[in-house]
Structure 1
């Protein structure tokens, strides 16, 4: 795990970790009505703007085995809380994990070993216990000669990892140089499934785990991929959803039991909900007047319709709630 100064971390984050310009100012002009408008409701504040980095960006919500919600702060400086736990009954917030070197962008519990896996945009994947103990570097290697910039993560049923590599072999961030990777659950083998992608960000399996959705942060599109039987190669793929979001950018995504897609946004504190055919079903937006400018990721409680969104802006980092259109499943939870 390489070291990075606070100033460099802030510069990198502003350049685009998970499209990480979320806490920047965003337009508040009126927008036309969207189909099925709904509202995000604030639950709890989990972070404030950091003096060292000039921003906060809350990401990676996941419901843990204890029933608590875990979130990460991408721009937390060394020693500050990088993974936090929210007791959903008391709304008490506690620190789970911190270090001096990482920029954590997402979190998910592995179905294989039950550990919490964290993507570090600076080039590694970390795993810890649910309490943030026994931190291990799971993956820290170049893939086909290029250092990775891991953004979001999804597990298949056997516990193998699928990871969006937002930077890939080239810079700057907005060039179509990102990749989709598969890493075996033992961390020994990494495979490039797709390349030349415009900053791939979110990814989630379909309810039947027979397809994979991948959102492209600087392409404002979502691709649909079918993998081979082993999950080690792409059988077919196509651009499936194009988001008309103006100055905003699409970010992370999740799927529910009916196959609907929940897509977070940067530069707009809203979540877009599409069905599997690409029809926009609902826009779930933070109330006007809330000092927030992004809603980058969601988690839906498995077996329930209660959803949580990570929302950030000049006012700080927050968890908001919403009602999903269908029950959550494992691929609704984290990543």
Structure 2
């Protein structure tokens, strides 16, 4: 979820200033002779329009529910308009799941522990949980971690239901104060796993839950945290440097083969890397359709299938695009 979009949005809202189901083929890949192949995504539907009150729309956090419906958050939706939507991608219809007066929701994930939907509230440093049908809203976590408030951006769960968050703080002051934070599944114990980061954004477990991939928006890099199996970090290193040009690294999803799908803010495209750092593919919106689209923030791959759905936004509205992923979807394929 992108700092500059949220900065504009939260200023308009009077908030704090911020820095920034099957395997059908959904696209036609073209393979160049050398280097990564190009996969052209196809439009499914326009999901949102630019909101008059906030002057923008920004789709994020696609995640499949147990019925195969796709849930999506609209980061910049004002009070009273849908902030979480449930989409029937086959019928191309959507309905409101949740709205409220003040939340700025940047990601969504279902917990394997209690089955509830968890949302990161970037502006207020909180985690909200909902019943799968959108009712029974509860604040799961809020407040400081190690004496400092969070700006939680993206979210991942381990097998036991503990939460891992990219805390994208500090960049409004021009300092790398971002963190990766672990919160136990009760919401009572919060631990900093990594700090000194430059606007950490995307976060996802690898295919085997051995470690965490996370991206840093203002460094255009993806790093890897190897975990020790007890909730602590065994090692950390820079894994991939993304040649994004004017675009910046956004959210991350991982498929069954361990490939990373790196969303971009500043370009309606997504880069795909192997777990060894090989640049495998670029997923992009066709040039004729790209006008008015500025980001491809995130993706969800159908569980057990290869149909992928990418959230794409800009002055032209918020859209869902589809393409054929390189491998099947797993829990980590729901964009964090």
Q: TM-score, structure 1 length as denominator?
A: 0.90
Alpha-carbon distance between aligned partners in 1 of 2:171 and 2:89, rounded to the nearest angstrom: 40
Matched residue, 1:28: none
Alpha-carbon distance between aligned partners in 1 of 2:105 and 2:176, rounded to the nearest angstrom: 23
Matched residue, 2:177: 177
Alpha-carbon distance between aligned partners in 1 of 2:54 and 2:36, rounded to the nearest angstrom: 37
Matched residue, 1:29: none
Matched residue, 1:258: 257
Q: What CA deviation, in whole Å up to 9, does each residue of 1:181-236 have, x standing for no partner?
A: 000000000000000100001111111111110111111000011011212x1110
CA distance 1:173–1:244, change in 2 (3 Å): farther
Q: Helix, strand or coil for the counterpart of 1:289?
A: helix
Matched residue, 1:39: 40
Matched residue, 1:214: 214
Alpha-carbon distance between aligned partners in 1 of 2:99 and 2:251, rounded to the nearest angstrom: 23
Matched residue, 1:105: 106
CA distance 1:273–1:157, change in 2 (3 Å): same
Are 1:274 and 2:276 counterparts?
no
Q: Helix, strand or coil for the counterpart of 2:201?
A: strand
Alpha-carbon distance between aligned partners in 1 of 2:281 and 2:90, rounded to the nearest angstrom: 28
CA contact (8 A) 1:9 1:75 kept: no
Alpha-carbon distance between aligned partners in 2 of 1:14 and 1:130, rounded to the nearest angstrom: 32
Root-mean-square deviation (CA, aligned residues, Å) is: 1.9
Alpha-carbon distance between aligned partners in 2 of 1:151 and 1:7, rounded to the nearest angstrom: 14
Matched residue, 1:304: 305
Deviation at 1:174, TM superposition (A): 4.9
Alpha-carbon distance between aligned partners in 1 of 2:326 and 2:17, rounded to the nearest angstrom: 33
**Structure 2: where are the runs of 5+ without partners?**
1-7, 21-33
Alpha-carbon distance between aligned partners in 2 of 1:10 and 1:259, rounded to the nearest angstrom: 39
CA contact (8 A) 1:82 1:104 kept: yes
Matched residue, 2:24: none
Q: Helix, strand or coil for the counterpart of 1:172?
A: helix
Q: Helix, strand or coil for the counterpart of 2:51?
A: coil
Matched residue, 2:3: none
Matched residue, 1:126: 128
Alpha-carbon distance between aligned partners in 1 of 2:50 and 2:178, rounded to the nearest angstrom: 29
CA contact (8 A) 1:34 1:283 kept: no
Q: Give runs of aligned pairs for residues 324-335 of structure 1, distance below 5 A.
A: 324-335=325-336
CA distance 1:12–1:200, change in 2 (3 Å): farther
Alpha-carbon distance between aligned partners in 1 of 2:240 and 2:14, rounded to the nearest angstrom: 31
Deviation at 1:119, TM superposition (A): 0.4
Q: Helix, strand or coil for the counterpart of 2:296?
A: strand
Are 1:8 and 2:11 counterparts?
yes
CA contact (8 A) 1:153 1:203 kept: yes
Deviation at 1:266, TM superposition (A): 0.6
Are 1:223 and 2:223 counterparts?
yes
CA contact (8 A) 2:38 2:281 kept: yes
Matched residue, 1:55: 56
Deviation at 1:175, TM superposition (A): 2.5
Q: What CA deviation, in whole Å up to 9, does each residue of 1:127-156 have, x standing for no partner?
A: 001211000000011001111000000000
Q: TM-score, structure 2 length as denominator?
A: 0.90
Are 1:287 and 2:279 counterparts?
no
CA distance 1:121–1:157, change in 2 (3 Å): same
Number of aligned residues: 314
Deviation at 1:35, TM superposition (A): 2.1
CA contact (8 A) 1:252 1:297 kept: yes
Q: Helix, strand or coil for the counterpart of 2:288?
A: coil
Alpha-carbon distance between aligned partners in 2 of 1:173 and 1:41, rounded to the nearest angstrom: 39
CA contact (8 A) 1:15 1:173 kept: no
